[in-house]
């Protein structure tokens, strides 16, 4: 691993922070493999934050989660390069997520949450140094002014369950509109349009500035990337365009835990252990005896991943399609693609089953049945499908709530938990994971002694 060129320099204050503000891209030369690996490590952090937020974790739980995610994923073999990895990974993902409004919104929210929790871990002196870097025009409240309002400040502190401010407490006087979350939560004293922000609350003030700067920077990055994409179409563009859909979990290219399923068992396991996306495709295939290309790819690679051998796969698909197009046409037009997915034709690549990110990103057309039902089904159809899986009305409402907020993987996780009566703390990130976890639960119920 090699990084060459000018190193990032911390500001020359008496007290400095290791938390960058990412105001400008560093003058560094980065190897292409590090460009991608650093970004993937940071993406694991951001996706972990997203999962924590969508699960409704409390602030103290989020603080621990962010700290653990950062320590696990943002390490470097050279301690001196940790801060470089931090900055490089941020700017790579800024390129990745600047391209659409939806991507920008997600990245802005996750990076702001990450910054907030990292800022809280800084010392008071380091926090003040960061405030100085933002050039915030706020001064600490004078002793005389503090004395005149300390009773009011004490009332606010008591109302939010905090200890009373001491004589040496530091408060900043800021326009109330610059700390909207504190105002909304009634956690500050307001007088004549100004909010009196305690030192332990300045994170809200700094985060507002950070979010504003990053939001503007993402727009500018998008304009610059759009103007330079042609120059990078063969080098960076493929990485940038696929990173946001990257699957970062275990490798499911080969069946491991439940090594084989047979044709005679397939209907049973489809009903008991297929996630909704695959169950829907399987049922449509049984009903129509045909699937378009997208459906064949999604379901075919999944069946391969859960252990359906090539000969059985050919027999399974032939039995269905021959009812619609005839066995001869199946052998001429469809059998090749099945062998191709198993690495027996063409470039002989051993293709990997689609991850949740991949499935969610698909856009089915008219007559298609692939993609993610939680994203693409109408509310009526989704409710009917969930009812068919055996979900009670309360569980259906919980799933629908996550769907409305676009937390599709969490909706699938709640479905899994409702169907199996077991928790899934890691969340569902891959259809094969759903299948494997389902089989584990069912086996433990059938063989409790084990």
Across-strand partners of 189?
Answer: 196
DSSP bridge pairs for 196: 173, 189
| H or E element at residue 387 | helix 379-388
Integer Cα distance of 124 and 226 in angstroms: 41
- Give the single-character DSSP code of 436: H
Per residue in 145-183, pLDDT tens? Answer: 888 898 999 899 888 888 778 777 888 888 898 888 888
Torsion of CA 93, 76, 355, 340, to 10 degrees: 110
Quick one: which of 212, 162, 211 has its CA closest to 185? 162
* Residues 321, 285 contacting (CB under 8 angstroms): no
Q: What was the pLDDT predicted at 12?
A: 44
Size of the chain in residues: 450
Which of 115-119, 142-146, 246-250, 305-309 is predicted with the least confidence, judged by mean pLDDT?
246-250
pLDDT value of residue 5: 36
Structure tokens given for 418: 């409702």
Closest among 304, 381, 403 to 349, alpha carbons compared: 304
Beta-bridge mates of residue 194: 175, 191
Please report where in the chains the tokens 């940038």 appear, as a residue.
Answer: 240
Percent of the chain topping pLDDT 70: 92
Euclidean distance between CA atoms 346 and 339, whole angstroms: 9
pLDDT at 11 over 80: no
User: What are 58-108's pLDDT values in tens digits?
Assistant: 889 999 999 999 999 998 888 778 888 999 999 999 988 998 898 899 999
CA distance 172 to 195: 8
Residue-by-residue DSSP string for 125-189: HHHHHHHHHTT----BPPHHHHHHHHHHHHHHHHHTT-PPPPTT--EEEEEGGG-HHHHHTT-SE
Report the pLDDT value the prediction gives residue 10, as an integer from 0 to 100. 42
Q: Is 191 annotated as a binding residue?
A: no
Decide: pTM greater than 0.85.
Answer: no
When the candidates are 1.20.930.80, 1.10.150.120, 3.40.50.620, 1.10.1040.10, the CATH number that belongs to 32-127+208-245 is: 1.20.930.80
Segment 228-242 mean pLDDT: 73
Average the pLDDT over 20-24 and give the result: 88
C-alpha–C-alpha distance, residues 450 and 38, integer Å:
41
Mean pLDDT is lowest, of 128-132, 173-177, 246-250, 296-300, for 246-250
- Residue 244 annotated as lining a ligand binding site: no
Q: How confident is the model at residue 216 (pLDDT cuts 50, 70, 90)?
A: very high
* Residue 277 labeled ligand binder: yes
Residue-wise pLDDT tens digits, 318-371: 999 999 999 999 999 999 999 999 888 888 777 889 999 899 989 999 999 999
> In this model, does residue 238 exceed pLDDT 50?
yes
Q: Is the dihedral of CA 417, 420, 423, 425 positive or negative?
A: negative
Q: What percent of the chain has pLDDT above 90?
A: 49
Q: What are phi and psi of 191, to 5 degrees?
A: -145, 125
Rg of the chain over Cα atoms, rounded to whole angstroms, equals 27
Strands 194-198 and 189-191: antiparallel
pLDDT at 298 over 80: yes
pLDDT computed for residue 248 by the predictor: 66
The mean pLDDT value of the chain amounts to: 87
**Residue 25: pLDDT band by 50, 70, 90 thresholds?**
confident
Q: For the chain, give every residue range classified as CATH 1.20.930.80.
A: 32-127+208-245
* Alpha-helix runs per DSSP H in 274-321: 276-288, 293-305, 310-321
User: In this structure, what token pair is assigned to residue 91?
Assistant: 């700017």
Q: What are phi and psi of 331, to 5 degrees?
A: -65, -35
CA distance 77 to 63: 25
């Amino acid at each position: 691993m090699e990084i060459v060129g000018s190193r990032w320099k911390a500001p020359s204050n008496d007290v400095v922070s290791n938390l960058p503000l990412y105001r400008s891209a560093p003058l560094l030369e980065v190897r292409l493999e590090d460009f991608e690996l650093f970004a993937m490590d940071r993406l694991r952090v951001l996706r972990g934050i997203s999962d924590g937020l969508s699960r409704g974790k409390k602030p103290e739980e989020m603080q621990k989660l962010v700290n653990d995610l950062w320590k696990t994923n943002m390490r470097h073999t050279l301690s001196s390069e940790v801060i470089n990895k931090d900055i490089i990974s941020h700017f790579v993902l800024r390129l990745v997520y600047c391209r659409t409004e939806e991507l920008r919104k997600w990245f802005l929210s996750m990076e702001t949450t990450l910054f907030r929790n990292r800022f809280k871990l800084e010392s008071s002196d380091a926090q003040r140094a960061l405030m100085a870097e933002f050039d915030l025009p706020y001064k600490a409240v004078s002793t005389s002014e503090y004395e005149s309002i300390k009773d009011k400040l004490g009332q606010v502190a008591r109302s939010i369950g905090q200890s009373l401010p001491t004589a040496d407490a530091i408060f900043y006087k800021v326009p109330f509109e610059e700390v909207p979350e504190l105002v909304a939560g009634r956690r500050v004293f307001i007088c004549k349009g100004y909010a009196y922000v305690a030192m332990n609350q300045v994170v809200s003030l700094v985060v507002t500035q950070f979010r504003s700067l990053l939001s503007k920077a993402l727009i500018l990055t998008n304009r610059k990337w759009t103007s330079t994409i042609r120059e990078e179409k063969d080098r960076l563009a493929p990485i940038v365009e696929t990173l946001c859909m990257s699957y970062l979990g275990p490798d499911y290219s080969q069946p491991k835990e439940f090594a084989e399923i047979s044709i005679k068992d397939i209907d049973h396991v489809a009903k008991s252990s297929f996630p909704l996306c695959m169950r829907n495709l399987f049922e449509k295939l049984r009903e129509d005896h045909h699937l378009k290309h997208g459906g064949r790819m999604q379901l075919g690679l999944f069946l391969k991943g859960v252990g359906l051998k090539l000969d059985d796969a050919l027999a399974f698909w032939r039995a269905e399609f021959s009812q619609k197009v005839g066995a001869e046409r199946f052998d001429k037009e469809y059998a090749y693609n099945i062998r191709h997915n198993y690495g027996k034709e063409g470039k002989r690549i051993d293709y990997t089953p689609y991850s949740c990110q991949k499935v969610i990103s698909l856009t089915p057309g008219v007559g298609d049945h692939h993609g993610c039902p939680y994203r693409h089904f109408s509310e009526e159809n989704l409710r009917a499908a969930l009812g068919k899986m055996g979900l009670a009305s309360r569980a259906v409402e919980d799933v629908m709530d996550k769907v409305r907020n676009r937390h599709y993987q969490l909706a699938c996780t709640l479905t899994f938990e409702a169907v199996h009566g077991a928790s899934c703390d890691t969340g569902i990130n891959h259809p094969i994971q759903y299948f494997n976890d389902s089989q584990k639960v069912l086996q433990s119920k059938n063989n409790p002694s084990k």
